[in-house]
Amino acid sequence: MERSPIGRSGGVTPLERLLTVRELAELLQLHAKTVERMARDGRLPSVRVTGRLRFKPSDIASWLAARRTACHDS
C-alpha cells in the first residue's frame, strides 16, 4: 500500500484553503463584483473550480506585496 506524500517533507504540500469571491472581497474591503471583474480581466490571480472563482491566499499575498512595492517605488 502506497502512502500519500501530502504533509511529509520533500513531498507534495497540502492544499491551501481557497477563498471565495465574497471572502476575498471582505478581506480587501472591495465589492464582490469588483473582485469578480478584476479576476476576469486578469488583474487578480484566480483559479476556477467547477466554474466558480477561487483565490489562493499565497497568490493574493504575493499580488499585494508586488502592488505595495510598486506603489513605494513611485
**How many other C-beta atoms are found inside a 10 Å radius of the C-beta of residue 62?**
12
Is pLDDT above 80 for 13? Answer: no
> pLDDT per residue over 19-48, tens digit each?
999 999 999 999 999 999 999 999 999 999
Q: Over pLDDT 90: what percentage of the chain?
A: 68
User: Residue 39, CB half-sphere, CA atoms under 13 Å: how many?
Assistant: 24
Whether pLDDT at 72 is above 90: no
What's the pLDDT at 26? 98
Q: Which of 37, 6, 8, 10 is nearest to 21 (CA)?
A: 37
